[in-house]
Chain A
Amino acid sequence: MLLDQALPVSEARGQLVLHPARDQVIDVVSQLRHEGFVMCADVCGVDYLDYTGERVLPDGVSAERFEVVYGLIDHANRRRVRLRVQVPEDDATVPSIFLIHPGTSALEREVYDMFGVVFEGHPDLTRILMPDDWDGHPLRKDFSVGRIPVQFKQDTSAR
C-alpha cells in the first residue's frame, strides 16, 4: 500500500491512479518520492468540458472541468503511479511541484500555456510553445481550431 494516508484510488486498464485533492499534491508527491518514485516523468492537462462519456471517479472526488495528470515512476521497484488532480474552472490553480521535481518546470509551463492552469510557486510561469502575446489557451475545448484569424485577407486577386 502506498502512502500513510488513504487517498481515493482507481485503476485504469491495470494502471494505478491516485486522486489527491489540490492542497494534498505537494505532500503526496514528496511522500511518494521518499517511497521510491524518484522521477516525475510527465505532467499534462485535460479539459473535460465536452466530455460525453460518464466520468468515473472514486468516492469523495468531485469532477471538475480541468484535470492535471502527473506520471511518477519508481525505478527501483519498476512501477508507475498516476495522480489525477481535479481543478475547478473558476479557480484554475494547482501548487507547483517544481521544488520536489525541478524537471516538471517545462511540463507545467506547457499545461499553463495550453490550458491556462496556474501553477503556484513556479519560478518562471510563462508561455512556452505559443507566442508571449497569444490570446487564449489552445488545448481548451472551447478554443476551436477554426478561430485563428486569416492573416492575408487584403489579397484582392480574383481567385
Chain B
Amino acid sequence: MAVAEPEAMQQALDRLTSGEAVLSLSETEAEAAEGFDEAGETMIMNMGPQHPSTHGVLRLVLELRGETVLRTKPVIGYLHTGMEKTGEQLTYLQGPTNVTRMDYASPLFNELVFSLATEMLLGIEVPERATWIRMLMCEVNRIASHLLFMATNGMDLGAVSMMLYGWREREETLRFLEKVTGLRMNHNYIRPGGVAADLPDGWRDDLLRLLELIPPRLEEYDVLMTGQPIWRERLQGVGVISAEEALALGTTGPILRSTGYAWDLRRDLPYLAYDELEFDVVVGTYGDCFDRYAIRLNEIRESIRMLVQLADRMPGGDYRIQDKKVTPPPRGRIDESMEALIHHFKIFTEGFKVPEGEVYAAVESPRGELGCYIVSDGSATPYRMHIRAPSFVNLQTLPYLMQDSLIADAVAIISSVDPIMGEVDR
C-alpha cells in the first residue's frame, strides 16, 4: 500500500474542493437549463434516468462543449424506497430480508454485514462452520457479481457477445446459490446467529464442477477482450483517477485498488476467517477503466482460489449458534414439544431483544466497503439501521473521471464504476 504523499494529497484536495468538475444544479434547475447556453458554446444535457447504459435509473446532468464533458452531476434517488426507515420497523430476524434487496447483485454481502453488526451487539460468536459457509457463499456471490459486471461492461462497450457469455456463466453460479439457499437472488440466507440452512448434500461436487467450468471461460474472455486492441483502445487511459483523489473521495473497492493502492478489508481488517485463507489483493497501476476491468476479472480468479481452499477445509459442526435466545428450535422438535412450538412462534413474531448500544460493521463487497451502523435501544427492532453503501460513495468519482473526456467515453466510465442503483438509493 503506497502511503499518500502530503503534496500530492494537497493537490488532490485542491482539485476536489474547487468544484471545477461538479455541476451544482438542482434537479429542477437542470431540467430548465437543458439545451445551449446564451452564447451557444456549452450545453446542458440530461442523460437518463432511462438510459440503457445507466445500470438502472441513474441520471447524469452533463455540461458539454462540443463532445467534451466539462462538468457532471449525478442525480439519484429514483429507486429510493426508504429501506433504512423500513429497517426500523422490522425485527432483527426480518432485517436480512430488507437489506438483501439493497445491492441486488451481491445480496449475501448485505445480509452478512447486517448479521455481523447484530451479532456484535448481541455479543455472540457463530460456530466455525457457519463462518466458513458464509465465506463460501460470499465468494460465490462475488464471482456472480463480477460476472454481471463483465456482461454489462461488455454490452455497454459494444461487445454484445460478452453480455451473453457473462450472463451464461453467472447463471451457473446462481444455480449453485439457488441450490443452497432456495433462491437465485435476495436469499435471506445469512441471518443473525449463523445461516438459514446447512449446505445441501453434494454441495462440494457442485462447487468443484463450477470451479472447473469458470477458469477456461475466463481464458475465453481474455481472448475476446483483454488482449483485443479495440477493447484496450476503448478503455486504456479513459476515466483516470489518482490514489489521492480516490482516498479523499472515500472511494473503496476496485476503483481504489485500480490506482495501485492495495486496500482490501478481507486482508487488512479481516472479518469472518479470511485471515486463514491464502489470496492476493489485485491492484492496478493507472487508475483507468481498463485497470478496473482487469481487477474485477482477476478477482474472480482469486475468489476461485479461495473457494478451492474453502471446499477443502470446510469444518464440521453446527451451521448456526445453539443459543435459545436467537435460534429457533429444530423443525422436528416443534411436532413433539409444546414449548418448542411456543419458542418458535415467539422468535418469529416478537423477535429477540438486542442489548442497547451502537456498532459499525464493515465487509468488502464486490463494490467496496459495505458498512452497517446499528443503534439498538434494547428492543427487538433496530432503533436506527444505516447502510454505508459503496456504490453511493463511489458515484461521486463520476464527475472527476468524466472531466475533459468525450461523451462517448461517459458510457465506459459509468460502466467501470459498476454502480448498483438499488444500493445507491436504498
Contacts and interface: CB of A to CB of B under 8 A. Distances in A.
A152 interface: no
Interface in B234-285: 247-252, 263, 268-269
Interface in B364-400: 369, 371, 373, 375-379, 383-384, 386, 388, 392-393, 395-396
B252 A41 contact: yes
Given A78-B268, A98-B17, A103-B250, A130 B388 contact: no
B342 interface: no
Given A103-B249, A104-B250, A46 B384 contact: yes
Interface in B389-426: 392-393, 395-396, 425-426
B198 interface: no
B53 to A, nearest CB: 21
Given A13-B120, A13-B123, A138-B85, A132 B28 contact: yes
Interface stretch (A20-28, A48-56, A86-94): A48-56
Interface in A103-119: 103-107, 110, 114
Nearest to B249: A103
Contacts of A131: 27, 77
Given A41-B388, A132-B26, A13 B121 contact: yes
Contacts of B104: none
Given A15-B360, A131-B77, A106 B396 contact: yes
Contact of B251 (A51, A99, A103): A103
Interface stretch (B128-136, B323-331, B351-359): B351-359
Chief secondary structure at chain B's binding surface: mixed
B80 A132 contact: no
A107 B395 CA distance: 11
A107 B393 contact: yes
A32 interface: no
A102 to B, nearest CB: 4
A129 B371 contact: no
B82 interface: yes
A69 to B, nearest CB: 7
Interface string A45-68: 011001111101000000000000
B77 A53 contact: no
Contacts of A47: 384
Nearest to B358: A12
Interface string B65-91: 000000000001100101011100100
A46 B375 contact: yes
A101 B359 contact: no
A139 B371 contact: no
Given A44-B386, A124-B22, A139-B85, A12 B359 contact: yes
Contacts of A101: 248, 250
Given A41-B371, A54-B356, A103-B396, A123 B249 contact: no
A50 B396 CA distance: 33
Contacts of B371: 41-42, 71
19 contacts: A12-B357, A12-B358, A13-B123, A13-B359, A15-B360, A44-B373, A46-B384, A53-B383, A71-B360, A71-B388, A75-B1, A102-B249, A103-B249, A103-B396, A105-B396, A106-B396, A107-B392, A123-B24, A130-B77
Given A53-B356, A53-B383, 16 more contacts: A15-B360, A39-B248, A41-B388, A51-B383, A54-B356, A78-B268, A78-B269, A80-B360, A103-B393, A107-B250, A124-B24, A128-B76, A129-B80, A132-B28, A138-B82, A145-B82
